[in-house]
Structure 1
């Protein structure tokens, strides 16, 4: 009988169809509804992350928290049900403007595909004009072990492109000439990060993936495998919510500042090995602002973003909640001063709180020759109706 506890998709290839008239494994759990009940129970348990005692308890923050869980469910169903077959991988956006995870970068286009480290794959595409593109392979997942361990990495600084920008890379456990993205037998995911200085002016890279040694056509839906995939999507919701709620709790212990941080924590969670990450927690009264001083740094890219408590980037479609080296106004010495406030303080580089009073925040640096930490301080703003002097 099918176990209905929290499970993850099998690494093995999809099982062949059951013989005509045979009872598929797990059919009793599927037919009785026990599987669906277990799935719903997992989602119900995930709601406990929103009610943690240290989490903000306002109706606004609770609403965002529960919306966050629905977004995680959409992401989990896409990753573990709709696009789960490693023989027929699809590059989809696990994270986008309406699905946000772990301080998602507003300057990024993210694409994921489920793969199997025992197979081989080819990615082809065209470079476009995007500022930076990185490819990484990962083992593990947030539902199973709250980790995305890096198993290979390749970025545009180390790739070869044809004169027209076309490229091809091979993903395999064995070394390959040319653009090679390593992986191991445990690899489950390939992640593509495209990073823009200005989305309005840059053309994204086009990227497609194919399995080189899989079957020609996919197998029909397998009941037992579907049961595992459905439960994996539910455990993804709970595991992801717990991981980043744990992080937010840690950041909350040192509000409105940036303490030294262990980069290994962020790499274990799937961070790009070329990126230096600095997270923080902010809380502001209505008449307060957080001034963030970013030292001049020699790097391929940097940006600073404002997130909610659940570590979702705020809605950058309609509010200025992030700035980078191209969009921020620099000081004469090359440093940058940002100002996070509930209303426009009349100062350069204003970042909006977008209706929030608490949240998290992050500074990232790609390929920095140095890795300076930002500094932050709270100031009091004059009353909104005070006369200007």
Structure 2
């Protein structure tokens, strides 16, 4: 019986899927509660869907935008998402020309970033090009159009669309068309095998990153794993460089932290936002995923937060919800991760300050 290459690749993909849960069940990165174990399997399903969309079903000469993050889709919570933004990806051929068009909707910031791919399925390590809203011309109705390509190695496009309030704002509408004749359709054995192996490589990379560690508390050295800082604090913010691993935004500054909270505790986070187009603070589980916007208030942004008289912003994070106007919730999670992002900041922000308090003392 002839063994097809796609059959071999399919079985390799199944073997990969069958082994990746070791990342969160065993070893130094094993998670410690049943919710995170369940989240691990959801993350496997989510990233498998994204990988197959971008490798098995993609046609770079017949491009379509693939929705990879959406504030309301529970099957698109991955990769450092947030509840204020819509993200689309589109694999493209670097030798081709494309026209990208659409309508800006109610976006407070949007952009298209082109990334390289060091090998099939490997995550980007360099930003190739960036087009953002203030580079474009709009008509009276908010419509835009521009051409992209050819480039040396920009093979994946990612859009970002940040909304002040996704519940009421109109997201950017996106269209893309190839300006050259499409390739013949050929879904053969070799092409399918290559796509399945690229999908498996994508999955392996994701689970080489997650689950994220959670730092230990000063009052409990047994919690958490090795981490650049302890729980209940943030690292120094940084500006994303052009040479970068993954799908970070070139216009962004980031600061990451983690939390370990009892039922009767809260984190009081204070920071002074620099002048910027957009910022938000997001609660993640250890798989860099937040809950859907309709599940609970798990993030807050510069358009919804109330400022202090001195211009700073104080956010209260707890396992439930408090009455503080800038309260967000971990939805009962006792431990997890936190992420600040600032878009088009005029300077790298100062490190956010954190106090661990009892709820009764708020």
Is residue 240–residue 250 contact of structure 2 (8 Å, CA) maintained in 1?
no
Bigger Rg, structure 1 or 2: 1
**Cα distance, 1:367 vs structure 2:** 0.9
Q: Distance in 2 between matches of 1:268 and 1:311?
A: 15
Q: Distance in 2 between matches of 1:243 and 1:316?
A: 24
Q: Which residue of 2 aligns with 1:236?
A: 202
Q: Distance in 2 between matches of 1:142 and 1:316?
A: 35
Q: How many residues align?
A: 346
Q: Which residue of 2 aligns with 1:64?
A: 39
**Cα distance, 1:147 vs structure 2:** 2.9
**Cα distance, 1:273 vs structure 2:** 1.0
Q: Which residue of 1 aligns with 2:105?
A: 128
**Could you list the per-position Cα deviations for residues 34-86 of structure 1 after superposition, in whole angstroms to 9, with x for gaps in the alignment?**
3332111111232221224233222221111111111111111111112x211
**Could you list the per-position Cα deviations for residues 181-235 of structure 1 after superposition, in whole angstroms to 9, with x for gaps in the alignment?**
xxx32221111111100123322222110111132x7414222101111121122
**Cα distance, 1:334 vs structure 2:** 1.7
**Cα distance, 1:104 vs structure 2:** 0.8
**Could you list the per-position Cα deviations for residues 99-147 of structure 1 after superposition, in whole angstroms to 9, with x for gaps in the alignment?**
2222212111111111011111111212222211111101127974443
Cα distance change on mapping 1:143 and 1:55 into 2, 3 Å: farther
RMSD: 2.5
Q: Distance in 1 between matches of 2:301 and 2:279?
A: 6
Q: Distance in 1 between matches of 2:289 and 2:51?
A: 16
Is residue 78–residue 94 contact of structure 1 (8 Å, CA) maintained in 2?
no
- Say whether 1:197 aligns with 2:164: yes
The 5 Å alignment of 1:218-237 reads 218-237=184-203
Q: Which is further off, 246-255 or 110-119?
A: 246-255
Q: Distance in 2 between matches of 1:113 and 1:146?
A: 14
**Cα distance, 1:269 vs structure 2:** 1.9
Is residue 122–residue 169 contact of structure 1 (8 Å, CA) maintained in 2?
yes
Q: Distance in 1 between matches of 2:312 and 2:17?
A: 45
Secondary structure of 2:14 counterpart? helix
Structure 2, unpaired ranges of 5+: 215-224
Q: Distance in 2 between matches of 1:247 and 1:263?
A: 22
Secondary structure of 2:90 counterpart? strand
**Cα distance, 1:250 vs structure 2:** 6.5
